[in-house]
């Protein structure tokens, strides 16, 4: 049997919705609908029968540039873009994983180890240990791009009480 406008209106009433159209051509022609939250949209009766109701309530409405900007600004605050160099949460996680893997590989190539478990970005200090057992903090940018490594082995470390004791003990051994 061929469906009618009355069928469309009855289907809508069963869901507490409304069919606002005054004319019905066929199952694939768009009709005007109104949901219980007063959203209005156009959809064919065949789609309604498949369970595709209000796109606003289902949050599957078509994106336009205005909606896309609104979503980006809500989900990607400026701080995230500035501090993590990305707006996408998935990319941030991927970058952190890749960054930590890169740090560990560089440390391994220098017979050392990256001791940090958390990576934020290339400018955030990580904890390192050289092959001599010295531990210090440095940013990945310096280790990777300026070829820096252990400040104690390079003779650039600041003298603190622990280093002074270590030097004194070594002198006593000789």
The answer on 98 and 155 residing in a single domain is yes
Q: Is residue 67 part of a domain?
A: no
Q: Is residue 154 part of a domain?
A: yes
pLDDT at 174: 64
pLDDT at 36: 86
Instruction: Summarize pLDDT for 106-152 with one digit per residue, the tens.
Output: 999 999 999 999 888 888 899 999 999 999 999 988 888 888 899 98
Cα–Cα distance between 69 and 88 in angstroms, integer? 13
Q: Is residue 25 part of a domain?
A: yes
The backbone torsions φ and ψ at residue 80, rounded to the nearest 5 degrees and listed phi first, read -65, -40
The answer on 168 and 122 residing in a single domain is yes
Cα–Cα distance between 172 and 166 in angstroms, integer? 10
The answer on 91 and 156 residing in a single domain is yes
Q: Where do we find the tokens 């893997």?
A: 101
Q: Is residue 42 part of a domain?
A: yes
- Residue 111: helix, strand or coil by DSSP? coil
Q: Is residue 114 part of a domain?
A: yes
What is the pTM assigned to this prediction? 0.41
Q: Is residue 76 part of a domain?
A: no
Instruction: Summarize pLDDT for 17-63 with one digit per residue, the tens.
Output: 999 999 999 989 999 999 888 889 999 999 999 888 888 887 755 66
The answer on 50 and 86 residing in a single domain is no
- Residue 136: helix, strand or coil by DSSP? strand
Structural domains of the chain, count: 2
pLDDT at 145: 82
Domain that holds residue 21: 5-58
Compute the average pLDDT of residues 87-109. Answer: 73
Does position 95 have pLDDT exceeding 70, yes or no? Answer: no
Q: Is residue 74 part of a domain?
A: no
The answer on 107 and 143 residing in a single domain is yes
Instruction: Report which DSSP code applies to 172.
Output: H
Instruction: Summarize pLDDT for 58-73 with one digit per residue, the tens.
Output: 775 566 677 667 666 6
Q: Is residue 66 part of a domain?
A: no
User: In 10 A of CB 6, how many CB atoms?
Assistant: 10
The answer on 168 and 108 residing in a single domain is yes
Within 8 A by CB and 6+ apart from 124, the residues are 139, 140
């Amino acid at each position: 049997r061929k469906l009618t406008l009355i069928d469309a209106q009855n289907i809508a009433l069963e869901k507490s919705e409304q069919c606002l159209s005054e004319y019905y051509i066929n199952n694939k022609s768009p009709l005007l609908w109104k949901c219980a939250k007063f959203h209005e949209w156009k959809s064919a009766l065949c789609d309604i029968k498949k369970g595709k109701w209000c796109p606003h309530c289902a949050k599957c409405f078509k994106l336009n540039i205005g909606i896309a900007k609104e979503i980006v600004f809500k989900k990607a605050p400026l701080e995230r873009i500035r501090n993590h160099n990305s707006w996408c949460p998935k990319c941030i996680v991927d970058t952190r994983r890749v960054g930590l893997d890169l740090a560990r590989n560089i440390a391994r190539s220098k017979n050392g180890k990256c001791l940090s478990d958390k990576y934020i970005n290339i400018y955030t200090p990580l904890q390192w240990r050289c092959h001599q057992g010295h531990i210090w903090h440095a940013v990945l940018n310096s280790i990777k791009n300026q070829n820096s490594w252990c400040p104690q082995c390079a003779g650039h470390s600041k003298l603190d009480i622990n280093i002074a004791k270590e030097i004194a003990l070594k002198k006593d051994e000789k």
